[in-house]
Amino acid sequence: MSTLMNGAKMLLECLAREGVDCFFGYPGGVTLPLYDAIYDHHIRHVLVRHEENACFAAEGYARVTGKVGVCCATSGPGATNLVTGLVDAMMDSIPIVALTGQVTSKLIGSDAFQEADTFGITRSCTKHNYLVKKLEDLPQVVHEAFYIAASGRPGPVLVDIPKDVFQAQGHYTPVTSIHLPGYKVFTEGHTGQIRRAAQMMWEAERPFVYAGGGIVAANASAELREMVELLDVPAVLTLMGLGALPSTHPNFVSMTGMHGGYAANMGMTHCDVLIALGVRFDDRVTGRLAAFAPHAKVIHVDIDPAEIGKNRAADVPIVGDVKRVLGRLNTVLAETRPERKERLAAARRSWWSQIRAWKAEHPLVPVTSDSEIKPQHLMMEIDRLSAGEAIVCSDVGQHQMWAAQLIRFNGPRLWINSGGLGAMGFGLPSAIGAQFARPDKLVFALVGDGGFQMSIPELSTIVGHGLPIKIVVMNNGYLGMVRQWQELFFNNRLSSVELDSFPDAEKLAGAYGFKGRTIDKPWELASALEEAVREPGPYLLNVKVTPFENVYPMVPAGAAINEMVLAPPQPVAVPK
């Protein structure tokens, strides 16, 4: 493969070699050579309407497939528009390669037209980044970028390419090795630690599994399930881990954290051995750290050594790929099952009945009404239609929490949301990436009226490609989650949270050339959703729900996770 070609064509050849079949982007001045090469190349480029959405779409693609998502922007404003998406990928550990154009090398640093210090700006929101100075470096850089993005703890890598490098001519020789002496990836867990963990798990009287995004990243659902069943231990999943265990699995208690279930948070607080797998003890999950799992010895498995001991000291730390570690752990567990089964069985039974008692005390009961659509009712209906199989791409806010609480998933990579960063405007573009990745799947873009209005430009992308995405707007007329906090903690002084002037959904969709509808009656809900799902193309369903509904349970900021607010407080008068 040694034909003479320019850097732009070479880049595309590198992408093809990495297995990229589609990427999301927006052209510009310095990337003109690249887009000229795209014109007759087999790799598919999807034109979005805002670069931020290119990154979100690449994330949707990556989150659903596990492959590296690719996005592309021009220099200056194009690159800076990617930043939110890069921070999002960094926070949720999503493998992304972002390609940005840069002004011609000799103009760098001269405040040229559309110049920005992309390399400097993206330093903190990428796992690593590159500025390609010579064409000869390009194949090695691209190969390394994909390797770094996908290996160890996945994350975004940015490659900044000046215009003259795109235009330079050279021979492409594929790269077959990576030499990064400082980039260490720890996959195998320590054998001794694994044995210690197994022993601790068997001897525990109140063991508890706390699993999250790391299980999804490692594709370790089968190993997790095997372990949970071997040990017959209750398990909770974080917002990022939903679906890692099927939601209907008998050992799955519920989501844990700020808006997790009562039994889940009580279980975390009272367990004596906490088995933390692919999680990072995030503040949304732990609440006040000093009061988190106070009686528990912690077994912490994670591929990133910096996460272990960061927020909570681990009694048995295991650095490694959770899939490999669990595989070996399961073998040891099976080999070392204790003989005296009765003592073990009694302790487990007692723990399980405690968990069940907590579940019965404060169940997550979806609320419905005869006269208005309750947000929880909407989630139940989506759950019914999905039957655990649909891909649900959520935006950020109250709807995201209710969806996480009430929509069930049979497996991982179906629940797609911005967890760590909580970036509004994520839902719709991520659904675009998800639908391109899985054209066979039913994809919901579940958004609030706030987040939806941040992504309206991408309706054009959806229609242009005929993506049959079912856009469901949970419309309460407010920036719901902020309004909830203002109600609970700021004396109900609602400041800048009223989202008035929402467009007519039928007219908006119609303006873009597809079907839209608004409903506000509970008896319309099921049929409207079914109509949306039946529609062969995209559909915009604007669901007007009860405005002043709050997400419960809620762990207030600074509280311990067993100090949940479970029900609405006494109504506070809205000051005039």
Residue 217 Cα distances to 67, 214, 321, 389, angstroms: 10, 5, 10, 19
x/- site string to other proteins, residues 131 to 150, per CB under 8 A?
x-----------x---xx--
Shortest distance (Å) from residue 547 CB to other proteins: 39
Q: Which of 42, 179, 534, 576 binds other proteins (CB under 8 A)?
A: 179
Reduced to 3 states (helix: H, G, I; strand: E, B; else coil), residue 389 is coil
Q: Which of 4, 111, 181, 570 binds other proteins (CB under 8 A)?
A: 181
Alpha helix segments (H runs only) across 81-171:
83-92, 118-121, 138-150, 163-167
User: What is the amino acid identity at position 415?
Assistant: W
Q: Which of 22, 183, 195, 502 binds other proteins (CB under 8 A)?
A: 183
Report if residue 185 touches other proteins, rule: CB under 8 A: yes
The two three-digit tokens of residue 152, written as one number: 């160890």
Backbone angles phi, psi at 386, to 5 degrees: -70, -40
DSSP 494-524: --S-B---PPPHHHHHHHHTSEEEEE--HHH
CA distance 563 to 553: 10
Report if residue 388 touches other proteins, rule: CB under 8 A: no
Burial bucket for residue 224 (CB in 10 Å: 0-12, 13-18, 19+): buried
Instruction: Write out the E strands in 48-115.
Output: 69-73, 96-102
Reduced to 3 states (helix: H, G, I; strand: E, B; else coil), residue 157 is strand
Shortest distance (Å) from residue 152 CB to other proteins: 9
CB 210 within 8 Å of CB 264: no
| CA triple 428-433-434, angle to 5 deg | 90
- The count of residues in the chain is 576
* Closer residue to other proteins, CB minimum distance, 77 or 174: 174
Shortest distance (Å) from residue 190 CB to other proteins: 15
The span of 198-206, 244-252, 305-313, 515-523 binding other proteins (CB under 8 A) equals: 305-313
The span of 208-216, 301-309, 405-413, 428-436 binding other proteins (CB under 8 A) equals: 301-309
Within 13 Å of residue 433, how many CA atoms lie on the same side as its CB? 35
Cα diameter, the chain: 76
Report if residue 305 touches other proteins, rule: CB under 8 A: yes
The span of 128-136, 372-380, 493-501, 513-521 binding other proteins (CB under 8 A) equals: 128-136
Shortest distance (Å) from residue 439 CB to other proteins: 21
- Backbone region of residue 388 per phi and psi (left: phi > 0; alpha: psi in -120 to 50; beta: other values): left
Report if residue 127 touches other proteins, rule: CB under 8 A: yes
Instruction: Say how far residue 105 (Cα) sits from the centre of its chain.
Output: 36
Report if residue 66 touches other proteins, rule: CB under 8 A: no
User: What is the amino acid identity at position 414?
Assistant: L
Q: Which of 32, 36, 114, 128 binds other proteins (CB under 8 A)?
A: 128
Shortest distance (Å) from residue 185 CB to other proteins: 7
481 catalytic, yes or no? Answer: yes
* Closer residue to other proteins, CB minimum distance, 130 or 351: 130
Report if residue 438 touches other proteins, rule: CB under 8 A: no
Backbone angles phi, psi at 503, to 5 degrees: -70, 155
Report if residue 208 touches other proteins, rule: CB under 8 A: no
CA distance 404 to 213: 14
Work out whether the CA dihedral 331, 213, 303, 208 comes out positive or negative.
negative
Report if residue 313 touches other proteins, rule: CB under 8 A: no
CA distance 55 to 433: 9
The two three-digit tokens of residue 92, written as one number: 């949720």
Report if residue 496 touches other proteins, rule: CB under 8 A: no
51 catalytic, yes or no? Answer: yes
Beginning with the edge strand found earlier in the chain, give each strand of the sheet holding 96-102 in spatial order.
44-47, 22-25, 69-73, 96-102, 156-162, 128-131
The span of 70-78, 168-176, 206-214, 459-467 binding other proteins (CB under 8 A) equals: 168-176
Q: Which of 222, 306, 367, 511 binds other proteins (CB under 8 A)?
A: 306
CA distance 218 to 277: 11
H or E, element range at 195: helix 191-203
Catalytic residue, chosen from 9, 10, 115, 163, is 163
Report if residue 123 touches other proteins, rule: CB under 8 A: yes
The span of 34-42, 211-219, 304-312, 330-338 binding other proteins (CB under 8 A) equals: 304-312
Q: Which of 19, 536, 558, 571 binds other proteins (CB under 8 A)?
A: 19
Report if residue 2 touches other proteins, rule: CB under 8 A: no
* Closer residue to other proteins, CB minimum distance, 120 or 537: 120
The two three-digit tokens of residue 166, written as one number: 């795109």
# chain residues binding other proteins, by CB under 8 A? 31
Report if residue 174 touches other proteins, rule: CB under 8 A: yes
The span of 180-188, 199-207, 500-508, 510-518 binding other proteins (CB under 8 A) equals: 180-188
Shortest distance (Å) from residue 104 CB to other proteins: 18
Enumerate residues 102-121 that contact other proteins by CB under 8 A: 119-120
Catalytic residue, chosen from 113, 188, 389, 521, is 113
Report if residue 557 touches other proteins, rule: CB under 8 A: no
* Closer residue to other proteins, CB minimum distance, 309 or 466: 309
Considering only CA atoms, which of 164, 74, 161, 76 is closest in space to residue 114?
A: 76
* Closer residue to other proteins, CB minimum distance, 134 or 362: 134
Which residues have a catalytic role annotated?
Answer: 51, 113-114, 163, 481
Q: Which residues of this chain interact with other proteins, rule CB under 8 A?
A: 17-19, 119-120, 123-124, 127-129, 131, 143, 147-148, 174-185, 304-306, 309-310
